[in-house]
A and B are shown apart, each in its own frame.
Chain A
Amino acid sequence: MKNTDRLMNIIQRCLNGSIIDEEQFDSEHVTQGIRRVVKKYAIQLDRSHVVNLDDALADRVWSAALDFLVECGIFCLDTGRVIQFTHDEIEHILAEAPSEVQLGSGVDAVREQYRCVEDTHPPLNMGGPVGTPVSEQLFLPVMLSYVQEPNVDVVCPATLSTVAGSEIRTRSPLEIMAAWEECDWMMQVLQRAERPGMAINCVQISVSDVGFLSAISRNGYRPTDMHTLGMISELKVNFEQLNKVAHTIYQGGIIDPFANPIYGGLGGGVEGIAVLLTAEMVALNLVYMAVCHGSSPTHPFNFNDTGREIMQATSLSLQALARNCHLMTNMTVSPVGGPGTKTLLYECAAYTTMCTVSGISRILGPRSACGTVQDHVSGLEARFNGQVAQAAAQLNRGQADEIVQRALTFYEDLQDKKPVGKPFQEVYDLKTIQPSREWVKCYDEVLAEVSGWGLPVH
């Protein structure tokens, strides 16, 4: 089916699906639906591991997720209707999904591809402080600190906190101006780093569709960049997001959306979130026509995704996906730790190792200090993440599980303490854009430590 035909089909389902009250969708479709399939497919994790070692369980999670998604559907907030797909339709759409894609252009292009569980080909490394506010005066040096790292394959801009000194207002001309400032400055960063063709995850500043539609047009972001948008938790879409999809299809861009289920929320605990995450990744393909499928399951109090339970659910879900379809998946590391802290690096070691052996195609971030503290980001953590991803691709799941569990012992009790570290200007020299001696020492020490645990970092 042509992309525009498929888009029309989705829009028609938004307009003609069955009408339901939103609260009823949450409780009956999502919560009761997840409970039904968790029981029906006997989804029960072995809590002694973080990285899933049980293939049969992963396959049951897959069956549960598809069964759930067929019954539940996706809620369209603008029409109050449910978008539904049959099991056969889902299977057919997934069979036609791409298993590889080129990101970027020229010598800076990289190829993202589907990875199986324990794939020895490492995932791509997308460096950048996903969703973290950064001041205008630091935007260029911060982003250069990521793009200059040789093991960063593609980049995600920070979120500008102001535009020309003014606070940004969603759906106003200020959002359009900020989107263009982000785009112009990212192009400058790529030029300065001599990597002009590197793919950018865009438009970060644009929550609504206006900035997105404006900056992804003539002389703005390019078809070789990844155009990002979000699904609303849980399993909800609106026309604003679908406008972005429609625009990207006509622009020829790479659709790279995300869905972040809330741990302890409508899906419940570890088992429920594993099923919900799997279903949401599939839903990204069904309604957003995703090429790449992203997530960062969120802890409701700490806002990180590096805790034990979320990693258990994530590992199981990623393996369910990697074993049963060829979707390209990506995960954002959201550690509680910030620049200058060892906590941040231990969290990256655990999360990226878990994701790599579980079959992700791309690791994102890190979103240091959970992305909540302005300017608390730096490129060194993305270098570390890339090294971990390269090394973890040489491990099996059992070896990875040991490393993840070991790393957890260093930060598990710190998650609610928010060790947000230092701002960029205190961990990097702003003239040379190089990390401080202290931050490098910290990095070297953790690198040596994880190497001693059996993670073959070089």
Chain B
Amino acid sequence: MNPESVKQELSEALRNGLTAEAEQLTQQALDNGMDPLEIVQRILVPTLTDVGQRFQNFEIYLPELMMAGESAERVTALLEETMLKAGRPTVSFGTIILGQVEGDIHDIGRNIVSILLKSHGFKVIDLGRDVAASAFLDAAHKEKADIIGLSALMTTALPAQRRTIHLFDEVGVRNQFKLIIGGGATTQGWADEIGADGYAPDAASAVDLCKKLLDQPSPK
């Protein structure tokens, strides 16, 4: 099979969430000598960027996005395994901790962000809903995170975003991590007020923001 047709078929399998087929095609591409990084950059990222855009346009809905995201995650795992075996660094572009801040019990928006970030090669640790500030801090250390994403859909949860950032400040590790915020209740103004490193109004811009932040020189 020529590289172009593998590219096309793998892209199609990812779009349709056909995990087994996507894994098989990935293995085939690797067996044919295709570089794992090339698979990520030429197939995975453009396909999932397009899937994300189609979700933004409501051409597809969350279930389709989730299926594509799950397939991409499995393909990424396969590629990582291959690279580790070859003694090469993994394909992850960075580690991101995500969570709904304390007092907020919503899930769906953060799930969308998580799927898109994973599909763009980030390692995502999702702490779930109603996460205490201290749990963000613990996870940031444990996972050696690059970015901490604090989500709040409810206006009543906004103070918990400030509190979480403040805790990182208080324990003297604020400069070790990028702290970003998002969710329906948040704005750029609020991000500025609480000293966040970035604000993403929606899932697609969260991906752009993380890419931008990790390209910037780290203050570490």
Contact surface of A with B, Cβ cutoff 8 Å: 27, 31, 35, 131-133, 159, 161, 167-171, 205, 207-208, 232-234, 238, 262, 264-266, 268-269, 272, 298, 300-301, 303, 309, 370-373
Contact = CB atoms under 8 A, between A and B. Distances in A.
Contacts of B62: 31, 262, 264-266, 268
B155 A309 contact: no
B154 interface: yes
Given A167-B163, A373-B187, A266 B108 contact: yes
Given A300-B108, A300-B112, A170 B61 contact: no
Interface string B97-110: 00000111111110
Contacts of A265: 61-62, 108
Interface in B72-130: 102-109, 112
Given A168-B156, A170-B157, A303 B58 contact: no
9 contacts: A132-B155, A133-B155, A133-B156, A161-B155, A207-B105, A265-B62, A300-B109, A303-B184, A372-B155
A169 B58 contact: no
B159 A264 contact: no
A269 B62 CA distance: 9
Interface residues of B, number: 31
B185 A372 contact: yes
A268 B61 contact: yes
A371 B106 contact: no
Contacts of A159: 155-156
A133 B184 contact: no
B202 A262 contact: no
Contact of A131 (B155, B163, B186, B187): B155
Contacts of B162: 167
Interface string B187-220: 1000000000000011000000000000000000
A88 B162 CA distance: 49
A208 B103 contact: yes
B63 interface: yes
Interface of B: 55-56, 58, 61-63, 66, 102-109, 112, 154-160, 162-163, 184-187, 201-202
A233 B172 CA distance: 37
Given A232-B105, A300-B109, A301-B56, A167 B159 contact: yes
Most buried by A among B66, B103, B202: B103
Contacts of A133: 155-156, 158
Given A31-B63, A300-B109, A264 B155 contact: no
Contacts of B108: 233-234, 262, 265-266, 300
Contacts of A207: 103-105, 154, 156-157
Nearest to B101: A170
Contacts of A371: 155
Top 10 A-B pairs ranked by shortest CB distance? A170-B103, A167-B159, A268-B61, A31-B63, A303-B184, A133-B155, A265-B62, A301-B202, A265-B108, A262-B108
Contacts of A266: 62-63, 108
Nearest to B185: A372
A309 B57 CA distance: 12
Contacts of A27: 63, 66
B156 A372 contact: no
A133 B158 CA distance: 10
Nearest to A270: B58
A132 B185 CA distance: 9
B58 A269 contact: yes
Given A170-B102, A301-B56, A373-B187, A269 B61 contact: yes
Contact of A168 (B56, B109, B159, B202): B159
A31 B63 CA distance: 7
B79 to A, nearest CB: 24
A233 B103 contact: no
Contacts of A238: 105
A372 B154 contact: no
